[in-house]
Amino acid sequence: MKFKGSKFIGIPLLILLSIGLFQGFAQADNRYIPDELKTTVRMQVAYNDEDIFFRYNWDSKHRGWFHDYLVYQDGEWVRYGAPPVGPDKYGLYEDRMTVMIDDGSVKGFDNFGGWLTVHDGLRALDTEVSSASVQEDEHLGENLDRNDVRKFIPQSRKGDQWWEGVWDEALSQEKLDDLLDKGIFVDLWQWRAHRGNPIGTVDDGYVLDYRHGDDGQGAFTNNPWDEETGPKYMFDPDEVGFAALDFEKLKKGEYDMDEIYYLHEDFMIPLDEEQMFEGAAIPRRPLQEPEGSRAVIDGDSTWEDDQYTVEMRRELDTGYIDDKAFEEGKEYTIALGLFKNSSGSRWHYISYPYELRLGADADIEATYIEGDQPDWNQIEEYEIPVIYPGQVTWSWLTSEDHAGYEEVRNNEVSIWDIHENPKDMAKAAVMLEEPARLFRQPFVILAMIIIVGSIILIIAAIREIKELN
Amino acid sequence: MELGFIHSIFFGEDTLMRILHIVGFIIAVGGVASIDFLLLVFHFKPELGKSLAKVFPIFSGQISLGFILLSLTGIPLILSRPWLSENFYFQLKFFFVLAVFLNGIFITYYAGPRFAKLAPKWTERTAEIKRYEMISAVSGVISVTGWWGAVIVSLLVVHGVV
């Protein structure tokens, strides 16, 4: 046996290697990568002479209809359910189901879907631009009075090339208005489990130079508050039987979807401190009746047997310039976004782009129906894989750091051509987001162990060779 | 994301890594094949046992060197294709790799030294030698199956057959 000093080198090396692999990589503050990188949304689409209907169904054990509460604790008011990094710790951030729709007006959307709208500088990315910088920007700060960067399409930015899109290089408002007039934007429908669902509405918006709400009044507003005096409004006990929700029950998700877990202008009154108690919880986002173009999509939902089912219904042509009109046979591109487990901002699942046509062959074919309401048992169901997208941005896809940047810039390929399997794409995105994770793969760790082991074997062999005579 | 450096290593062209991976394979399998051939010779000329026992450590070192090169180049190849870790055939390949690696440890620390001890009296065909032959035969089967199994599976994966 020639095994002498080599193990004293190898074993500590293995231990150090393991510590480095599992502990040595610091995580950024905004870093959360879900264990489940891919999930599935089952989707159906139907239409009649007046309306289009979407139905989505997905698995979720989480009761995600609670959102953003002000809680009375130890004599002061504390906010729970602010936009979280990953899932909200207490489950107090609403789930969402979103769909982006384009009719061919936005270059590149048919090939890359939502990736086209995500750029360096967006909120929650590692490259997030500071609020101060956004406020100083002539368009986002001064014109729109925003303090963050959200989705936009490259066509809304200056640049010599169609694919160029830098957050602080927006076109003039006049040119942006012209694009909107021409229908160059991505329609964005958002079913919100809290901020809309209780009153049967879907938030209608669009993506152009920013992620805008459509013209009109949205379904939710603010409940002004401060730590000492609390929120301005509470529940009207005469209407709903209580002045505040119970924080402990909220954390356990004990309010069902058909109960009152939201504040609404119809049953809110000024706060009466006398009626507050330890753990009293008041929603920070009261609901109101939406109006105008923002209110054109009806929503309905259920949560049964650990599955959400969401239906959306809208007129084929609303007549508003910030909505895409649907026509039979015409080609549309849609891309889904799913926010599960009380996650917000970028911690969602997205689909690849899919071709949609009404009554014509396509990736997703909307089925014509005669009546006012589809019989969903008769409508074809499509299984749409949705994946965690990491921090892959359009800026990166078109940069020289990306191996396929030339094809992307030339709009010659689609995401389907490059990454045929969405789950593989998710894995690649995760590896890009957190390179350290690359080294934590079991096979990489095994390979490293083999390297160390082989070094030990070589040392043993050398010792034997040295002793040859 | 400041990934330029990592990206250039792991996501850029990996031709060099592939070539070095194959070089590692040639070095390692060259050593294995040499040992196998010498063992064949030994079968017909057992009197060469003492000499062979002296050269086997050299081939062991060569195999380990090949293993290191295979692993060093294999890591970036895996890193650039993280999804491979869920591929059954890739897992099968790694099973073969692990088998030959563990077999290598067995040979280095048990079979090799034992052979050096038994080789001079090999013609006596003692019970100890016969038992050793049985154990070595199992080790040999693992070696041949493992190395060539890994190669065949790799080729099938690379060429999209499986």
- pLDDT tens by residue, A92-114: 999 999 999 999 999 999 999 99
Nearest to A401 among B7, B61, B108 (CB): B7
Interface contact B109-A460, CB threshold 8 A: yes
| Alpha-carbon span A147 to A131, nearest angstrom | 5
Taking the CA of residue B70 and the nearest CA in chain A, the distance in Å comes to 9
CA angle A98, A99, A102 (to 5 degrees): 155
Give the DSSP letter string of A410-429.
TT---HHHH-SSHHHHHHHH
pLDDT at A450 over 80: yes
User: CA-CA distance, B102 to A79, in Å (whole number)?
Assistant: 57
pLDDT in tens, B70-105: 988 888 887 766 666 667 888 899 899 999 999 988
The distance of B31 to chain A (nearest Cα, Å) reads 13
Both tokens of A328, joined, read 């039979």
User: Does the CB of A341 have a partner CB in chain B at under 8 Å?
Assistant: no
Crossing angle between the packed helical segments B49-79 and B15-44, to the nearest 10 degrees: 160
Residue A248 burial (CB count, 10 A):
11
What pLDDT does B2 receive?
46
Residue A128 in this model has a pLDDT that exceeds 80: yes
**How distant is the Cα of B42 from the closest Cα of chain A, in angstroms?**
19
pLDDT at A27 over 50: no
pLDDT at residue A2 greater than cutoff 50? no
- What's the pLDDT tens digit per position in A308-324? 999 999 999 999 999 99
Q: For position B83, what pLDDT does the model report?
A: 62
pLDDT at A96: 98
**CB atoms near residue B16 (< 10 Å):** 11
- ipTM for the predicted complex comes to 0.72
User: d(Cα A39, Cα A56) in Å, to the nearest integer?
Assistant: 13
Identify all chain B residues contacting A401, using CB atoms and an 8 Å cutoff. Answer: 3-4, 7
Cα–Cα distances (Å) from B123 to B1, B23, B36, B128, B131, in that order, read 67, 38, 20, 12, 14
Residue A20 binned pLDDT confidence (cut-offs 50, 70, 90): very low
CB neighbour list of residue A169: distance below 8 Å, 6 or more residues apart: A157, A158, A159
CB A89 within 8 A of CB A96: no
Band (B14; pLDDT cuts 50, 70, 90): low
Question: Which of A40-44, A188-192, B97-101 shows the lowest mean pLDDT across its residues?
Answer: B97-101
pLDDT of residue A4: 46
Token digits for A421? 């399997």
- Tokens found for residue A466: 């040295």
pLDDT band of residue A381 (cuts 50, 70, 90) is very high
For chain B, list residues whose CB is within 8 angstroms of any CB belonging to chain A.
1, 3-4, 6-7, 10-12, 54, 57-58, 60-61, 63-65, 67-68, 71-72, 74-75, 78-79, 82-85, 90, 94, 97-98, 101, 104-105, 108-109, 112-113
- Grade residue A157 by pLDDT with cuts at 50, 70 and 90: very high
> CA–CA separation, B132 vs A175, rounded Å?
86
* Rounded Cα–Cα distance for residues A59 and A280 (Å): 31
Is residue A15 pLDDT above 50, yes or no?
A: yes
Q: Each residue of B97-131: pLDDT tens digit?
A: 999 999 988 988 888 889 888 988 888 888 998 99
Question: Given the structure tokens 């080198």, which residue do they identify?
Answer: A9
- At A119, give phi and psi (nearest 5°): -130, 160
Tell me which chain B residue has its CA closest to the CA of residue A126: B1
pLDDT at position A10 is: 52
**Which residues from chain B sit within 8 angstroms of residue A441, using beta carbons?**
78-79, 82, 85
Task: Kindly give, in sequence order, each residue whose CB lies less than 8 Å from that of residue B110, ignoring residues fewer than 6 positions away.
Answer: none
Residue closest to A182 by CA, chosen among A355, A335, A322, A334: A322
Looking at residue B82, its pLDDT comes to 64
**Are the Cβ atoms of A454 and B67 closer than 8 angstroms?**
yes
Coil, helix or strand at residue B81: coil
Q: What are the chain B neighbours of A458 within 8 Å (beta carbons)?
A: 61, 64-65, 68
What's the mean per-residue pLDDT of chain B? 83
pLDDT of residue A80: 97
pLDDT over 70 (residue A172): yes
State both tokens at A384.
């749409």
The answer to whether residue A438 scores a pLDDT higher than 90 is no
**Does A177 have pLDDT greater than 70?**
yes
Q: Is A346 on the interface with B (CB under 8 A)?
A: no
Chain A residue numbers touching B97 (CB-CB < 8 A): 450
Cβ atoms within 10 Å of B98's Cβ, excluding its own: 16
Kindly state the percentage of chain A with pLDDT values over 70. 92
- Asked whether the predicted pLDDT for residue B6 surpasses 80, the reply is no
Cα separation values, A171 from A90, A104, A168, Å? 41, 21, 9
Is the predicted pLDDT of residue A331 greater than 60, yes or no?
yes
In the predicted model, is pLDDT for residue A65 greater than 90?
Answer: yes
Test B108 with A461 for CB contact under 8 angstroms: yes
Among A402, A418, A428, CA closest to A111 = A418
Among partner residues B1, B54, B63, which is closest to A468 by beta-carbon distance?
B54
Q: B93 CA to chain A: closest CA distance, Å?
A: 11
Work out the average pLDDT over A198-226.
Answer: 98
Contacts of A168 (CB under 8 A, 6+ apart): A121, A129, A133, A137, A139, A140
CA distance B44 to chain A (A): 24
| Smallest Cα distance from A168 to chain B, Å | 19
What whole-number distance in Å separates Cα of residue A436 and Cα of residue B46?
53
Taking 60 as the threshold, does the pLDDT of residue A11 lie above it? no
Angle CA(A391)–CA(A394)–CA(A396) in degrees, nearest 5?
70
**B59 → chain A, closest CA residue:** A461
The model's confidence at residue B24, banded by pLDDT at 50, 70 and 90, is very high
pLDDT surpasses 60 at A154: yes
Is A444–B75 a contact, with Cβ atoms under 8 angstroms apart? yes
The answer to whether the beta carbons of residues A260 and A235 sit under 8 Å apart is: yes
Q: State the DSSP code for A170.
A: B
Lookup: tokens for A213? 């709400």
SS3 A274: helix
Tens of pLDDT, residues A136-152: 999 999 999 999 999 99
Q: Is the pLDDT of residue A89 over 50?
A: yes
Q: How much is the mean pLDDT over chain A?
A: 92
The 3-state DSSP class for residue B90 equals helix
Question: In terms of CA atoms, which chain A residue is nearest residue B74?
Answer: A447
- Would you call B78 and A457 a contact, using CB atoms and an 8 Å cutoff? no
pLDDT band at A25 (very low <50, low <70, confident <90, very high): very low
Q: A419 touching B, CB under 8 A?
A: no
Asked if residue A19 has pLDDT above 80, the reply is no
In chain B, residues with a C-beta closer than 8 Å to the C-beta of A427 are 82-83
Residue B7 pLDDT > 60: no
Closest CA to A340 of A56, A138, A150, A72: A56
What count of Cα atoms within 13 Å lies in the side-chain half-sphere of residue B90?
16
Strands A280-283 and A69-73: antiparallel
